[in-house]
């Protein structure tokens, strides 16, 4: 979660104090929103937190796929293996 007081800063300040920002991101696991002329332009995140985010996204996508499959079964939008093989052999 982004802390609007601590996790938003200017790109210029980030350039001047990169090591400090990296250390803080590693410790907190929170990304930093970098601004240019007062507008959010870039989000910087440490590699470990980014990897965790990717893994969570992949897991959420897998869960959504399973939910869709279960919904197809519930609504009888499936074929038996025999029906599938028969259609496949017709190709």
Q: Convert the pLDDT of each residue in 45-68 to its tens digit.
A: 999 999 999 999 999 999 999 999
| 76 has pLDDT over 80 | yes
Name the region of 38 (left: φ>0; alpha: ψ -120 to 50; beta: rest): left
Looking at the chain, how many residues does it have? 91
Give yes or no for a contact between 46 and 32, defined as CB atoms under 8 angstroms apart: no
Pairing of strands 32-36, 39-44: antiparallel
pLDDT at 1: 75
Pairing of strands 39-44, 8-10: unpaired
Q: How confident is the model at residue 4 (pLDDT cuts 50, 70, 90)?
A: confident
| 91 has pLDDT over 90 | no
Q: What is the pTM of this model?
A: 0.73
Tokens of residue 56, six digits: 């969570």
Q: What is the mean pLDDT of residues 10-37?
A: 96
Q: What is the mean pLDDT of residues 16-31?
A: 95
């Amino acid at each position: 979660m982004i802390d609007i007081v601590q996790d938003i800063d200017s790109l210029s300040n980030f350039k001047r104090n990169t090591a400090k920002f990296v250390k803080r991101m590693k410790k907190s696991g929170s990304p930093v929103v970098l601004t240019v002329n007062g507008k959010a332009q870039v989000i910087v995140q440490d590699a470990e937190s980014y990897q965790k985010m990717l893994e969570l996204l992949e897991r959420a996508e897998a869960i959504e796929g399973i939910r869709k499959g279960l919904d197809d079964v519930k609504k009888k939008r499936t074929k038996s293996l025999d029906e599938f093989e028969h259609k496949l052999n017709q190709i």
